[in-house]
Amino acid sequence: MIELRDITVRYGEKLVLDRFSLAIPLGGITALSGPSGCGKTTLLRVASGLTEPGSGAVSGIDSRKIAFLFQEDRLLPWRTVSQHITDVLPKSRRGEAARWLAFAELEGEGGAYPPALSGGMARRLALARCAALGGELLLLDEPFAGVDQERTVRLLDRLRGLGVPIVMATHQPQVLAACDAVIALDGPPLRRV
């Protein structure tokens, strides 16, 4: 269980989290749902330790190894699709690149560079890279943005098959329907509904 207690985050004048508390179960796939801009991304960033809150505390992560998928793809324009995978794999696991390309259904695109990919392909590559990095917890920010519905279902199944707890921010109804737990949110400032 990730516990966030009395978290406050402010971006300039904008109060995104105001003494916000939440317990996120760690088992299967948990979705944080809510409209765009309500503060889901900030919540994930605080939970992962990427954003330092103004006040409050986070517990339950401890020394757990986290793989984080950013809201943006953050691909390197000068690296090929295959290299994006091998870049995050340790030398002993370099042979797994093909497996992760298949995970993202990008088998034929190994030599392509990001500018040549569609939005959906780039998102799948970013997701495969995050999954390939591995960890004891996956925190995913809008993992299926721009991905078609059929692929989204298949990718969700593959993510479940990894056997690690997943917490994802999403507002796609078909994704929410397939998650083990859904935490409905609204904001800003962020609140549970």
Q: How far is the CB of 74 from other proteins (least distance, A)?
A: 4
Structure tokens at 83: 């290299």
Match 């078609």 to its residue by tokens.
148
Nearer to other proteins among residue 133 and residue 156 (C-beta): 133
d(CA 96, CA 86): 8
Q: How far is the CB of 160 from other proteins (least distance, A)?
A: 23
| 14-24 sheet: strands from edge to edge | 14-24, 2-11, 55-59
The answer to the question of residue 78 lying near other proteins (CB under 8 A) is yes
Q: Which residues ranging from 127 to 156 are in contact with other proteins (CB under 8 A)?
A: 129, 133
The answer to the question of residue 74 lying near other proteins (CB under 8 A) is yes
d(CA 6, CA 57): 7
Does residue 90 have a cis bond before it (omega within 30 degrees)? no
Among 8, 10, 26, 50, indicate the residue that binds other proteins (CB under 8 A). 50
The answer to the question of residue 164 lying near other proteins (CB under 8 A) is no
Q: How far is the CB of 150 from other proteins (least distance, A)?
A: 28
d(CA 148, CA 25): 28
The answer to the question of residue 88 lying near other proteins (CB under 8 A) is yes
Question: Which strand (E) or helix (H) includes residue 129?
Answer: helix 119-133
* Chain contacts with other proteins (rule: CB under 8 A): 48, 50, 68, 70, 72, 74, 76, 78-79, 87-88, 129, 133
